[in-house]
Chains A and B, each alone.
Chain A
């Protein structure tokens, strides 16, 4: 950039140069000051760094079996096209402690008006044994306003899994919003140590009703139905758990 400006400036010094018509103010003001102002103007008209942190779910969850705290948050920092993106989610059981906790750090690149391609790492802090995965995903908005987040994960054990999340905001009023949400998890091979069977192994279907006191601040109530399937369900049952579970949730959605 600065090299280019220098070139333009130098060429201006020679009458009849191709750039003679541009940077006309250099004839009236200090060309260096103009170059700095020009660079600042350019940066501040389209190339700003912005950021978002959104805690979509910070909730207390109650079912027949357990009480827990569940979180899911993500955020980004970057320009319109290039962003550094983080995602975090997990569940902390009141009695047994943290059951699941994962974090992802991704590079996110806008590839079309509504979609970002994302690649990076995911690390599972819980359960044990910890796993680290390579992530390749696409996040964005599908037609009819479905917010989508899809990703493939390749673990250090060489196990490939995938996750698809979809949610939709149904506006009951300007501030009261009903949000159905679906999450599906698939694995191409079992990871017995983690209690994951092959194939379509678990899903979550949820609905939340939030009230946006401010756009940035919305408490909610909801229902969450989680189910394990196939081998995974058997593994859950072997461990004395219930593969199907309905919870009542209450929480807060925040962004800034």
Chain B
């Protein structure tokens, strides 16, 4: 069935009568669509990128859409197939599609200026690559800020084997953030007044409330501490519900996307966070979720009541709903708004929508200055010998300069990067770098910001264990350290104090080497860090079953490591997946080169 036939076939009406721009799989409560997923399902696809009208919560606007749909069509592929995607650009500017999380030849990865020149107006670019994996992924523009305008959609790759996580019914739950403002205007406003979207600032009344609870002296001290550093403990998200409408499958909270089920069925929900800037905390009150996949790959099933999904991450969960309606609730991590949908056995029914919890406040630990918690942390993880810092070339990511033999391999098999000494910062400082993490710690076992006090189970990264043994059990040959740096006041974001615009060299890895990449977050924000082209093992206490991911949220004040097998030769983008952070310069190119290349 080609696209035209499919569209004709799929052009049925929706329950709510909206969704002109919605692809069939994303439509709400469609009784003719019992499985919930109608997709472009083939091995040859025609995709057209164009500016097209859309309606969100009753308000009309225009987006940059694929096949005039928000989200873009669900692409259903089969592991082992070779897919062909003909992408036509009908925009007046260049566009691109990046296949997020897909292992492919780098020249098909779709990043203009890194892996190909981009798709010029009027041009059709043909992507073609074999599928080596199964799972839940997504695709989006890597050009300008088009992703913010709706240029994103889900991918499901069916396994060649029997799928042990197959359920009677499954839905894609694609979360995103929408603004009726021009994304370039949003970025410009952040550069003018970086806190302009924050309407949850600390106020005089919060001061009195805290004084009452914690005492005047403690409150004054705490305020003075933040003031002395000119940092804002209420700075949780840069872009907020003040301009965003949070979407679930392209539906605003009012539009209430609805998925049907029959009581007794196991339902698989494939969550994808396709937001530009929004990290969500996801829960379904009264319905426990069993996480079975993370970033497309199988993990040992783990049951939870709430999980955080960073931008660009995906989680597949299995639920077994009873005969009642449930609310799918995805709260933005600053609690300025939510995306919401309904799972129900009966069309029209809905469940109570939880109220937003109060905005979390950053702590000393987020500033990586809490010595005590570091001690407690070490205790819980055992005493690790310090890495031989003097033998490593910290911070400098240049190829060739690394000392391959100098690592203490024994110490590197441990779950956390030991930080028994004060963190070194051998990178550029200057106007773009405000904070420096003095004692960053591994926080993979900690609940995400604002969820520490939730009175139910919350997924943490250390709960994730790969279901299959890691394919490469070699210890890393060397370690690279990269710092996440920023100046929120000037809205500058960078790695090692250098914006992408200031860097000429890429980070060079040698083919098939094992590299430990240690990330130190010197900023006061969580950053979903994404490597194109290769999965990495998140270094936890697990030895052979570390979770493998393409994106990981590095908490403020955190130091964590991932192990990479550099098996994909080519140039790959590496960046913070918060769109405006990347746009501001928090990006690098990772080049995997043949070892034989002279250095």
The residues of A with any CB-CB pair to B shorter than 8 Å are: 4, 16, 18, 20-25, 28-30, 33-34, 36-48, 50-52, 80-81, 110-114, 141, 143-145, 170-175, 215-216, 255
Residue pair A47, B499 in contact (C-beta under 8 Å): yes
Q: Does any Cβ of A come within 8 Å of B200's Cβ?
A: yes
Residue of A nearest to B199 (CB): A174
Q: Does any Cβ of A come within 8 Å of B532's Cβ?
A: no
CB of B488, distance to nearest CB on chain A (Å): 10
B192-212 contacts to A, CB under 8 A, are 192-193, 196-197, 199-205
CB of B574, distance to nearest CB on chain A (Å): 12
Residue pair A141, B489 in contact (C-beta under 8 Å): yes
CB of A54, distance to nearest CB on chain B (Å): 8
B148-194 contacts to A, CB under 8 A, are 187-188, 191-193
CB of A139, distance to nearest CB on chain B (Å): 13
Cα distance, A51 to B188, chains bound together (Å): 8
Selected contact of B570 from candidates A20, A24, A172, CB within 8 Å: A24
Selected contact of A172 from candidates B114, B204, B487, CB within 8 Å: B204
Question: In the assembled complex, which residues on chain A have CB atoms less than 8 Å from the CB atom of B188?
Answer: 50-51
**What are 13 contact pairs spanning A and B, CB under 8 A?**
A25-B570, A30-B117, A40-B113, A41-B113, A45-B500, A45-B582, A51-B192, A111-B431, A113-B433, A113-B434, A113-B490, A143-B227, A172-B205
CB of A168, distance to nearest CB on chain B (Å): 10
Question: In the assembled complex, which residues on chain B have CB atoms less than 8 Å from the CB atom of A46?
Answer: 494, 499-502, 584-585
B204-227 vs A: 1/0 string, CB under 8 Å?
Answer: 110000000000000000001001
Residue pair B230, A145 in contact (C-beta under 8 Å): yes
Q: Does any Cβ of A come within 8 Å of B506's Cβ?
A: yes
Selected contact of B107 from candidates A4, A29, A255, CB within 8 Å: A29
B464-489 vs A: 1/0 string, CB under 8 Å?
Answer: 00000000000000000000000101
Q: Does any Cβ of A come within 8 Å of B246's Cβ?
A: no
Question: In the assembled complex, which residues on chain B have CB atoms less than 8 Å from the CB atom of A110?
Answer: 431, 490
Residue pair A29, B116 in contact (C-beta under 8 Å): yes
Which bracket fits the contact residues of B?
Answer: 35 or more
Residue pair B204, A21 in contact (C-beta under 8 Å): no
Cα distance, A71 to B67, chains bound together (Å): 51
Residue pair A47, B501 in contact (C-beta under 8 Å): yes
Q: Does any Cβ of A come within 8 Å of B380's Cβ?
A: no
Cα distance, A81 to B224, chains bound together (Å): 28
Most buried by B among A30, A110, A215: A215
Selected contact of B431 from candidates A41, A80, A173, CB within 8 Å: A80
Question: In the assembled complex, which residues on chain B have CB atoms less than 8 Å from the CB atom of A41?
Answer: 112-114, 500
Residue pair B490, A80 in contact (C-beta under 8 Å): yes
Residue pair A25, B107 in contact (C-beta under 8 Å): yes
Residue of B nearest to A75 (CB): B192
Residue pair A144, B228 in contact (C-beta under 8 Å): yes
Q: Does any Cβ of A come within 8 Å of B275's Cβ?
A: no
CB of B111, distance to nearest CB on chain A (Å): 8
Most buried by A among B199, B431, B585, B598: B431
Residue pair B192, A42 in contact (C-beta under 8 Å): no
Residue of A nearest to B105 (CB): A28
Q: Does any Cβ of A come within 8 Å of B144's Cβ?
A: yes
Q: Does any Cβ of A come within 8 Å of B315's Cβ?
A: no
Nearest 3 A-B pairs (CB), nearest first?
Answer: A21-B593, A41-B113, A46-B585
Question: In the assembled complex, which residues on chain B have CB atoms less than 8 Å from the CB atom of A37?
Answer: 112-113, 116-118
Residue of B nearest to A141 (CB): B230
Question: In the assembled complex, which residues on chain B have CB atoms less than 8 Å from the CB atom of A170?
Answer: 204
Question: In the assembled complex, which residues on chain B have CB atoms less than 8 Å from the CB atom of A21?
Answer: 399, 506, 508, 591-594, 597
